[in-house]
Structure 1
Amino acid sequence: MNFFQRQQDVRKSSRRLVVLFVVAVLTLVVVVDLIAFFLLGLSEQPTTAILDIMIGLSLFLIVAIGLTSLFRMLALKRGGGGKVAQSLGGLFVPADTADPRLRRLRNVVEEMAIASGTPVPEVYVLPHEPGINAFAAGFTPADAAVAVTHGALERLNRDELQGVIAHEFSHVVNGDMRLNIRLMGVLFGILGLAVIGRILMSIRGERNPLPLIGLVLLVVGYIGVFFGRLIKAAVSRQREYLADASAVQYTRQTEGLVGALKKIGGLPEGAKLRDKRSEDVSHMLFGEGFANWFATHPPIEQRIRTLDPAFDPAQFAQLTSAWQARPPDGMREDEALGLAPPGEGPLPPPNAAMPVQAAHVVASIGTVSQQAAHQRAGSIIAAIPAPLLDRARHPDTVLPLVLGLLMAQDPHARATQQAIVASRFGPSVADAATQDAQTLASLHPVLRLPIAELAFPVLRRRPRPQQDAVLACIHALAQADGVLTLREYCLSRLLHRELYESVHHTSPWAGRRAPRQAVDQAVATLLAVLAAAGGPGEPEDAYRAGLAQVVPGQPLPFTPVPPVMLENVWPVLDGLGGPEKEHLVTGMVTVIGHDDVATVSEIELLRTVCALIHCPLPPLADARPEQVTP
């Protein structure tokens, strides 16, 4: 199952969630009506009176459940994934942390983000949880947060931590995260009946029926708990198998993930969480956090056997016995096993080119199909000059660095951009941004997008008014004089979209399906811009070859247009369904690879454009390059 099929599967799961929610609500309404019928002695009342009471009570329940769910969803949406982590006592891990365990955690998260082609999420630790667990939360990849327990930090070695984080990233990439947080809001409406019941029971007075109604709602609320756990189990169990499989694809080895699962099964704490509020996120967790009738996760033995068929559950007893005297220490294991962070590996020369195949690129989206992704991402991070990496991770220097990334090579356009920055943030920021732009001008093209993604979580921690100011500035820089190259424009647009999603927790585009004619025209515009920005050869030939992959038989003429004309294209293309996006990516690869090879810069441009339409493409710079003349 590729990325686009998984996206379709998530949409089906969302529809199934709606159906299950409606069934649960209707069942609860019927139960309440029956209880009220007998407790209030309505059998002796006229039929019209009975209908009035039943209809009124039913409407009250439906409205109460709906409003409670709506308010909960709005509350979650205001804070994004970080709000969920904070509600469970999570502590934010800053990008420039010096604590060895926290530094290791952030390194793993950053490597996995770059490996998967997604924004670097916020990172949290649950300091009072000794069990081994983790979860990812958020409405979009740009407002995502990854939280791990203190037990995971203490007990897991680097490989095992990578397996757990890769599992959570699969939820981010596959779209499970948005489904899971919606599930939190939906189920809160059902469970909220018990809260309403407690309130009504506290209201006193003679001949007051409210306490009796409150008792009914309290009972029904606990019935709602039953339905809530049933829905969680129905939605979550199969997706955990998929996340395990995706984690293995990211890390290209099973030992780390299997080792983490074995430690959960062999340690007394397991994956259990102490905080009762954590039951709200039980369907998001890496391991089963609570014992109940309807498990949200497959049994730990089954998950291990799926990855390692030779596993014998009797090993749990041996592991428990061995760890009683000396519990595992992840950092010590790192030293003993030599699990150092990935070192700097050779990057392809900036003027290199490599063969590209559309089928390979499509299969790579949302997953990893070649060598270990985290090793490749670790090598990319290690290749970033230390001063730039420090500036990307520090709140005081991140803004000029990001603005420097977005400044044009054209001197006239850069002067215009410097004036824009000075008018919004002052001359000191403008001067620093210009200086950073000069340093970044000679940077390897493979490193520009990763620097932007590493800087993004620091940038999104700024107060809301400052984020709005940065959004406006980035938009203005992207429009500067209309002379930006396609790469400069797309990187500006990507950072604008990611920051917008982190602020508003939704896409800046409506996400609605456009008419067929509008889709065809948007495809033609994007492919024409890509063809015009390509290497040697006839751009019209490349354009027609790509167009035939997306909208065959459509005689849409090749019309060169500047990159800024793509402004109206993104909402249309991002709203396409999975199969249509798959054809679009195939067409884009056909255009840039029309001469049978793609340069490193073209590959990075493709990654940026794919990210703009929410098709995360991992770095492809590990393919064997062929030297070409620049």
Structure 2
Amino acid sequence: MRFFEYQDRARRRLTLLLGLFALVVVLMVALLNILLLYTLVEPWQELRRLMPTAEMLAEHRGFLLWTTGLAIAVIAGASLGRLYQLRRSGGGRGIAREMGGDPVDAEPEDPKNRRLRNIVEEMAIASGLPVPAIFVLERELGINAFAAGFTPHDAAIAVTRGAIESLNRQELKAVVAHEFGHIRAGDMRLNTQLVGILFGIEMIALLGLGMLPGRRARSDPGEMRGPVWFNFALVAAGGIGLIGGRLIRAAIAREQEYRADAHAVQFTRNGDGMAGALRKVAARYAGLNASPAMVGHMLFANGAIDQLLDTHPPLEKRLERLGQPLDEEGLERLGREATDRVRRAVTERERRRREQEAAAEQRREEEENGPLGEAFGAVPGSLAAALLAALPGELARSARNPHWVADLVLYLILHPDPEIREQQLHMILETRGPESEERVRQLRAMVPEPAAEHRLPLTEMAFPALARLSRDEQRTLAGLVERLIHADGRLSATEYALGRMLIEHLDRRHGHGGKTTHGRKDPAGKNARHRENAARYLLATLALHGHPDDLEAAEAALIAGLGRFTGSLPFSAPIPEELRQASQSAAWARILDRALERLARMPRHDRQRLLQAMDDTVQQRGDPTAEQRELVRMMAASLHLNVPLPDAGELFDAGH
């Protein structure tokens, strides 16, 4: 499967469809204006003029402006109210619970749930995204899954019990990777916004229906004629706009499905798993018993009959893009086998649950203060699986455990110098107490120094457990992280990137993205010179990190990166003085903070180009080290870009 080509194609079609969606809203408002103009202003005998003349429009310009403003206000107000209601539902976790999902424990007793958690963590590493909350829809025996939430930092993935029991590991991995494709592409946020706009359009029609006269109209039809036609105008315009909007929204959702399939193949490097899952979906019923509008477009598959309003493309076409034709003769056999397997598994699971309930409760209590065990292994065959399997078991278990996760984070930023490390441990003792300090020391005793390539995966694995800490605990932890990385008065690029990533995540959890929140307008950021200076500083940081003792090589790497970002190679690119003195001062970090804040506000295509420039910078003198790769991935997170893990011979796919 040519997944990059399919991603680009889907992206172009989505842009076109979003333009059509905006056009539908504009045409609906125009239609409403015309209908109201005829019903409220022009005499009824003027209806013989089917289209308003220029003179009529000019004469009633004030009325048209007033009705346009009112229509936009109704749509915007209802949309914002609906968006607020959806956001208040508790993000991805709230939506998953509303759908009947049960959270998967950090260390599940059920082997199938353990396999699911392992797969989700593996795909998080492969996609460069934080590990989402994981839920199982126990009462759903169909094969399905969905992703919910508004950002990657509050996302949740829910999988039906039928999918867990019916799919093998590669097929389940493909389904989970498909949902990660939705998360990475921002489909959840976009579809939530579209739901809000459609609700606003629907309100136009509902206002007309609500104001239709009853008995008074029948008793005096002549007196009520104007209001009746006014209400019908609202219903007609709102209804037409709603139908058109829903049709385009469904088309948008279908393109998102194609793109998510392509992402799944990219993350798993295996199209057979996705094809196998789709065949089993075709063989069995895939619908959920209850699928509210907020997640219907995010499901892996659905059972809708109306093709125009179906949010998923036909399975035959999805399989065709995977190069795997649908074998209709084998579908019936697959359906019977999957149904029998699920029924047996559900019966066995219920029996096992009753037998192990008491033991599981005791084990959960022991986990609070008990020893750490081994992490679950991963099936080899992909870089993400190999990396997950290579993580020290003690550290992986700590990342999943809410009682240990804060201590793991602190352990990851401990300084290699013994004297500075003791200062940091003393800060931990003063801030979090002796138990926390002891746990950090235990982790260091188990694994004296985490490998460079393990820091980012462990940090991303820790995000779900960090989310379970109280707001005060998260704020205290963020402050302590900042103090620890400045403990020696100096700051390495890796310390800076890891600390910034952690602090930004904790801030975003409570809506305090601060200056780094992308999407805000930054007038200075529109200036090409300001952007270039900010990019120069970021690239210089990477260049000097890769060549700390060779200024000439660092400048050559900076020139290569700037050439990619600006489109022309500069004659020279001196490393800024603050960076040269980084070993004596941390002042450069404040400048880099401002640079990243400016760069994060650039349009996405500019940030993608900057990511390619970062790639060129670290590869200028051969293959980058594992530490350089992880540094770029962490810096990319500050630019609100997620870098998937490379396959053999690949480093980055900038924003695909």
Q: Given the two structures, how large is their TM-score scaled by the length of structure 2?
A: 0.77
Give the corresponding residue for 2:298. 284
Q: Which residue of 2 aligns with 1:384?
A: 391
- Once the two structures are superposed, the pairs formed by residues 575-586 of structure 1 within 5 Å of their partners are 575-578=601-604, 580-586=606-612
Which residue of structure 2 lines up, in the alignment, with residue 304 of structure 1?
319
Distance 1:619 1:323, change over 3 A: closer
Structure 1 residue 222 displacement after superposition: 4.9
Q: Distance in 1 between matches of 2:344 and 2:417?
A: 50
The amino acid that maps onto 1:515 is: N
Asked if 1:159 is matched to 2:170, the reply is: yes
Using the TM superposition, give the Cα deviation of residue 45 of structure 1 relative to its aligned residue in structure 2, in angstroms: 10
| Residue matched to 2:287 | 272
Q: Secondary structure at the match of 1:284?
A: coil
Secondary structure of 2:140's counterpart equals coil
Q: 1:578 to 1:502 in 2, by over 3 A?
A: same
Counterparts in 2 of 1:87 and 1:481: CA distance versus 1, 3 Å? same
Change (3 A) 1:432 1:236: same
Deviation at 1:217, TM superposition (A): 5.4
Asked whether 1:493 is paired with 2:500, we answer yes
Matches within 5 A, 1:123-134: 123-134=134-145
Cα displacement (A) at 1:550? 1.9
- Aligned-pair CA distance for 1:179: 2.2
Deviation at 1:251, TM superposition (A): 1.8
Matching residue of 1:64 = 74
Give the one of 104, 113, 125 matched to 1:93. Answer: 104
* Aligned length in residues: 583
1:180 correspondence with 2:170: no
The one-letter code sitting in structure 2 at the alignment partner of 1:306 is R
In 2, Cα distance between the equivalents of 1:303 and 1:344? 26
1:163 Cα deviation after fit: 1.0
Please point out which of 576, 597, 618 is paired with 1:571.
597
Residue number in structure 1 paired with 2:638: 612
Instruction: Provide structure 2 residue ranges, at least 5 long, that are not aligned to the other structure.
Output: 47-55, 218-222, 347-375, 564-568, 583-587, 651-656
Alpha-carbon distance in 1 for matches of 2:550, 2:62: 75
Change (3 A) 1:170 1:621: closer
1:550 to 540, 544, 562: 562
Aligned ranges 1:448-467 → 2 under 5 Å: 448-467=455-474
Distance 2:397 2:116 in 1: 17
Instruction: Indicate whether 1:326 and 2:352 are aligned.
Output: no
Mapped partners of 1:584, 1:222: distance in 2? 44
Partners in 2 of 1:500 and 1:103 — Cα distance? 30
- Alpha-carbon RMSD across the aligned residues, in angstroms, is 4.0
Shift of 1:67: 0.8
Distance of 1:317 and 1:245 partners within structure 2: 27
Residue 250 of structure 2 contacts residue 310 of structure 2 at CA under 8 Å; is this kept in 1? yes
**Contact 2:539/2:562 (8 A) holds in 1:** no
CA distance in 1, matches of 2:272, 2:3: 23
Q: What does 1:344-383 align with in structure 2 at a 5 Å threshold?
A: 372-373=381-382, 376-383=383-390
Equivalence for 2:475: 468
d(CA) in 2 for partners of 1:57, 1:172:
38
Q: Does the residue aligned with 2:509 lie in a helix, a strand or coil?
A: helix
Q: What is the Cα deviation at residue 458 of structure 1?
A: 0.8
**What secondary structure does 1:316 align onto?**
helix
Cα deviation, residue 540, structure 1: 3.0
| Alpha-carbon distance between aligned partners in 2 of 1:343 and 1:55, rounded to the nearest angstrom | 62
* Structure 1 partner of 2:91: 80
Matched, 1:105 2:116: yes
Decide whether the 8 Å contact of 1:4 with 1:582 is kept in 2: no
State the match for 2:255 in structure 1.
238
Matches within 5 A, 1:387-466: 387-411=394-418, 413-437=420-444, 439-466=446-473
Letter in structure 2 aligned against 1:464: R
Matched residues in 2 for 1:286 and 1:183: separation? Answer: 19
Report which stretch shifted further, 548-557 or 98-107.
Answer: 548-557
Determine the C-alpha separation between the residues in 2 that align with 1:620 and 1:242.
Answer: 19
Identify unmatched segments of 5+ residues in structure 1.
Answer: 333-340, 346-371, 625-630
Helix, strand or coil at the partner of 2:147? strand
For 1:295, which of 290, 310, 314 is the aligned residue? 310
Percent of matched pairs sharing the same residue? 35
Q: 1:196 to 1:94 in 2, by over 3 A?
A: farther
In the TM superposition, residue 102 of structure 1 has moved relative to its aligned partner by: 2.2
Are the counterparts in 2 of residues 405 and 440 from structure 1 also a CA contact under 8 Å? Answer: no
Aligned residue type for 2:81: F
Shift of 1:457: 1.0
The 2-side partners of 1:75 and 1:468 are apart by 26
| More displaced 10-residue stretch of structure 1: 115-124 or 29-38 | 29-38
279-288 or 113-122, larger mean C-alpha shift: 279-288
Distance of 1:150 and 1:86 partners within structure 2: 15
Aligned pairs (5 A) from 1:7-46: 13=14, 17=18, 19-30=19-30, 32=32, 43=43
Aligned to 2:264: 247
The alpha-carbon distance between structure 1 residues 324 and 450, as it changes in their structure 2 partners (threshold 3 A), is: closer
1:325: how far off?
A: 7.5
* 2:33/2:68 contact within 8 Å kept: yes
Q: Structure 2 counterpart of 1:617, which letter?
A: V
- Matched to 2:310, the amino acid is A
Displacement of 1:160: 1.3
Does 1 or 2 have the higher relative contact order (CA < 8 Å, sep 6+)?
A: 1
Q: Give the C-alpha shift of residue 115 in structure 1.
A: 1.4
Does the 8 Å CA contact 1:478/1:493 hold for their aligned counterparts? no
- The answer to whether structure 1 residue 117 and structure 2 residue 93 are counterparts is no
Answering whether residue 614 of structure 2 is matched by residue 588 of structure 1, we say yes
* CA distance in structure 2 between the aligned counterparts of 1:136 and 1:274, rounded to whole angstroms: 17
Query: What letter matches 1:504 in structure 2?
Result: G
User: Distance in 2 between the 1:517 and 1:89 partners?
Assistant: 52
Q: How far is 1:300 from its partner?
A: 1.0
Instruction: Write out aligned runs for 1:501-516 (5 A).
Output: 501-504=508-511, 508-511=515-518, 512=522, 513-516=525-528
- What residue in structure 2 maps to residue 539 of structure 1? 551
**Paired AA for residue 61 in structure 1:** A
Amino acid at match of 1:94: D
How far is the alpha carbon of 1:68 from its aligned partner?
Answer: 1.2
How many Å separate the matches in 1 of 2:169 and 2:66? 58
- 3-state SS in 2 of match to 1:522: helix
